Amino acid sequence: MQKSHPTYRADHYSQPINLPSWLNDNASQLVPPVNNQQIWKNSDLICTVVGGPNQRTDFHDDPFEEYFHQFKGNASILIADRGQFERVHLREGDVFLLPPHVRHSPQRTEEGSLCTVIERNRTDHEIDAFEWYCANCASLVTRVEIQLKSIVDDLPKAFNQFYESSEESRTCTHCSSVHPGRDWSRWHAHCHLKFKLTLG
């Protein structure tokens, strides 16, 4: 018996897309508060363009690799690893392949910066997680696991689950510091001071 082929939207396997025209058409989605837009829908690869400025305190635990192409402006990726933070700088023109499960937090301080991020689509048993760490001691404060179906729809729900939690839920069990939640500037200021991170 012949297997049926999946049904794709007309924009999936389309003619080549002119990227400058696509960027112009989607410019309103590449600035705060949205900052990102997926190029093709219903594909095996999640191809997203992400714009700046956008700074965050969550760290993504992706079960797969992520490919970054910083094609306009500069950005960086904050890495949380074994009780420390380190920064990977993405200069204009850089490409970077992030291994699976490396806890990472993209930081886009420059207005108008643009980056293509490519990830694999998840099946029903492949789980993403978002983690928040203490800026004082780098210990894990909270982890939220989700079945990722839509980057645009699912991420705000996961973030709000943490940001709208009580101060007690955002308190580090190791040093009793309170994570400032949505106040990313306070978290980053403390983190820079404590861990002597380079700016970027």
pLDDT at 8: 45
Q: What is the 3-state secondary structure (H, E, C) of 93-140?
A: CCEEEECCCCEEEEEECCCCCEEEEEEECCCCCCCEEEEEECCCCCCE
**CATH code, 179:** 2.60.120.10
pLDDT for residue 9 is more than 80: no
pLDDT at 91: 98
User: Among 58, 89, 90, which residue's Cα sits nearest to residue 184?
Assistant: 58
∠ CA 47-79-173, nearest 5°, is 120
Q: Give the integer Cα–Cα distance in Å for 158 and 27.
A: 25
pTM reported for the whole predicted model: 0.91
What is the mean pLDDT of the segment spanning 96-110? 97
Residue 7 lies inside a defined structural domain of this protein = no
The total number of structural domains that make up the chain: 1
| pLDDT single digits (tens) 142-175 | 999 999 887 778 888 899 999 999 999 999 999 9
Residue 1 lies inside a defined structural domain of this protein = no
Residue 4 lies inside a defined structural domain of this protein = no
Domain membership of residue 128 as a residue range:
19-195
Q: Give the integer Cα–Cα distance in Å for 32 and 111.
A: 10
